[in-house]
Amino acid sequence: MTRFPYLFVFLTVLFLYPSCKPTETLNPCQHNFDLGSTYIHLADNLIIPSYNNLNNEVIELETKINSFLSDLSVQKLEEVQDQWLIAARQSQYAAIYEFGPAEEVFLRSSLHNFPVNTGEVNVNIQTNSYDFDLPDAYDKGFPAIEYLIFGLAENNVDRLAFFTTDPLAENYKTYLVALVQDIKQRSTYTLNGWNNGYRDQFINNLGTADDNTLSLLVNNFNEYFEWVKRDKLGVPSGILSGINLAFPQAVEAFYSKQSNTLLLASIDACKKFYQGFGVNGNNGLGFDDFLVELNTQKEDQALSTLINTQFSSIEQAINAFTVPLSEGVNTETALVQTAYVETSNQVVYIKTDMPSVFCIAITYVDNPSDSD
């Protein structure tokens, strides 16, 4: 009978002190990865160059628009259309980093709110009155410019008439200039902010608070990726509707039929950021290297490799589209659904597995469909 009290004490001690390892070895947040050098590389080789390229392409777009308005011809309109695609594609690489100066001017939502609200745009043109400072408005940015240069008619001869013989031709011209100037002001402000102080704040923010640089990067990377999954694939495909009813006009770049190009660019932007692949082509420190340093495994494979492989699967799925996404949501539904599933699979890796080993909490507010 006397043995049981001793046994009880022994088991209690064993339960309370399951290991004799030093306390510091139990801290999963300790690592030797050089975050400081990583931040310098990301700032100098990815983020600032992406903003610089965006600003240059937007300035060129403004130049093309001004040239078009001084020589209203189909050729000049085509030059605007070509430059619009170049600038819109480049903007995908800058849209990930919606913090710091970009957050102050609502850069992503001001440049990428799609689908454009054509009714609101038409009212703005008719009244010659508008306010681009409303962050949730859908009457500005690249989608609104796209509508004016691609969406007013079926061909460029008829589109040109809106800027030449239409009774509101002067208003159309004024609105087109105002749109590109708004984009330029926001992109210039963001670039100047990084070059004039924010870069140093970014690379020196090594703390553990929710707004430290690692948290900003992890959260913005995930938020952007989920926005791509939801708005570029989930909504137009009808997967998120609950009744599988496609919404072709909800795709990005509906009027130019360049939705596939911009979708691939946004996935490529995410992949290059994850890999630390600089704009100039150099492959520096990125999240993949951090995962390797932490020796993170899942399903008997390196998590860093799983994420890279999944990016390839997503790109392969999108490249399988044979028509613009606005058509594919009705004619290639299986292919579109596969692309959506592949992007959803990546969310598990980058939003659940990766932040947990980085000891970073996801702090942005989820859209109910984001994890679908």
Task: Give the per-residue pLDDT at 28.
Answer: 58
Q: Which spans in the chain are helix H?
A: 3-16, 35-42, 48-70, 74-94, 101-104, 107-112, 118-127, 141-146, 156-161, 169-193, 199-203, 213-227, 235-237, 259-275, 287-293, 303-319, 325-331, 333-347, 354-358
| Residue 366 confidence class, pLDDT cut points 50, 70, 90 | low
- The answer to whether residues 304 and 176 belong to one domain is no
Among candidate residues 179, 206, 233, the one where a domain is terminated: 206
- pLDDT given for residue 210 in this prediction: 72
What residues does 283 pair with on adjacent strands?
Answer: 277
The pLDDT of residue 26: 42
pTM: 0.90
Total domain count, the chain: 2
Cβ partners under 8 Å of residue 242, min gap 6:
none
Q: Ramachandran region of residue 277, left (φ > 0), alpha (ψ -120 to 50) or beta?
A: beta
d(CA 323, CA 119): 27
Q: Which of 178, 206, 234 delimits the end of a domain? A: 206
pLDDT at position 367, please? 59
Q: Range of 187's domain? A: 28-206
Chain centroid, CA 371 distance in Å: 16
Q: What CATH code is carried by the domain that includes residue 125?
A: 1.20.1420.20
The reported pLDDT for the residue numbered 282 is 87
Residue 27: is its pLDDT beyond 80? Answer: no
Q: What is the mean pLDDT of residues 281-291?
A: 94
Kindly tell me if the per-residue pLDDT of 24 is higher than 60: no
Local confidence band at 3 (pLDDT 50, 70, 90 cut-offs) = very low
- Yes or no: say if 259 and 326 are a contact pair by the CB < 8 Å rule: yes
Q: What is the pLDDT of residue 244?
A: 77
Domain co-membership, 306 together with 333: yes
**Cβ density class 85-104: b for 16+ within 10 Å, e for less:** bebbbbbbbbbbbbbbbbee
Residues 6+ apart with CB under 8 A from 361: 210, 215, 355
pLDDT (mean) for 148-155: 98
pLDDT of residue 284: 94
Same domain for 200 and 246, yes or no, is no
Asked if residue 355 is part of any domain, the answer here is: yes
> CA-to-CA distance for 33 and 334, rounded, in angstroms?
42
346 and 221 Cβ atoms separated by less than 8 Å: no
Whether 346 and 311 have beta carbons less than 8 Å apart is answered as: yes
- Are 161 and 99 contained in the same domain? yes
Residue 297 has pLDDT above 60, yes or no: yes
Q: Which 3 state secondary structure label does DSSP give 297?
A: strand
Q: Indicate the residue type of 336.
A: V
Residue 95 confidence (pLDDT) above 80: yes
Contact assessment for residue 65 and residue 176, using Cβ atoms and an 8 Å cutoff: yes
